[in-house]
A = this chain, B = another copy of it.
Amino acid sequence: MTTARDIAERLNLSVSTVGRALADDRRISAETKLRVNQVAEELGYVVNRAARMMRGARSPVVGLVVPDVRNSFYSTVAHALTETMGVRDHQVMLCETGDDKRSELRQVRDLAAAQVSGVVIVPTARPLPEVARLLQPIPHVQLLRKVSGLGPHWFGIDDRRVIEMATEHLVELGHRRIGYIGGTVALPTAAARLAGFTSAVTAAGLPDDQPTILGPPSSTELGASGLHQLMSDPNPPTAVVSGSVQVTRGLLEYAHRTTLDVPGAVSLVGFGDEVGFSWWGPGLTTISLPMHDLATACGAWLMHRISTSAVSGNDANGTSSAAPYSSVSPGVLIERGSTAPPALS
B275 touches A115 (CB 8 A): no
Instruction: With A75-B75, A279-B253 as known contacts, state yes or no: A92 contacts B93, CB within 8 Å.
Output: yes
| Chain B hits for A256, CB < 8 A | 278-279
| Inter-subunit contact A48/B96 (CB<8 Å) | no
A contact patch SS: mixed
Pick the contact of A69 from B61, B78, B115, B281 — CB < 8 Å?
Answer: B78
Interface size on A, residues (CB 8 A): 55
Answer whether residue A147 sits at the interface, using C-beta atoms and an 8 A cutoff.
Answer: no
Contact A92/B91 with A46-B112, A47-B113 known, Cβ cut-off 8 Å: no
State in angstroms the CA–CA spacing of A112 and B45 once bound together. Answer: 10
Is A311 in the interface zone, CB < 8 Å from B?
no
Q: Does A137 contact B (CB under 8 A)?
A: yes
Pick from B69, B103, B115: contact of A49, CB under 8 Å? B115
Contact partner, A137, options B1, B50, B64, Cβ 8 Å: B1
- CB of B49 within 8 A of CB of A113, answer yes
Residues of A bordering B, CB below 8 Å = 1, 44, 46-51, 53-54, 59-61, 64, 68-70, 72, 75-76, 78-79, 82-83, 86, 89, 91-96, 103, 106, 109-110, 112-115, 133-134, 137, 249, 252-253, 256, 274-281
Q: List 11 A-B contacts (CB under 8 A).
A: A46-B113, A46-B134, A61-B93, A69-B69, A69-B82, A75-B78, A91-B93, A92-B94, A93-B93, A256-B279, A276-B279
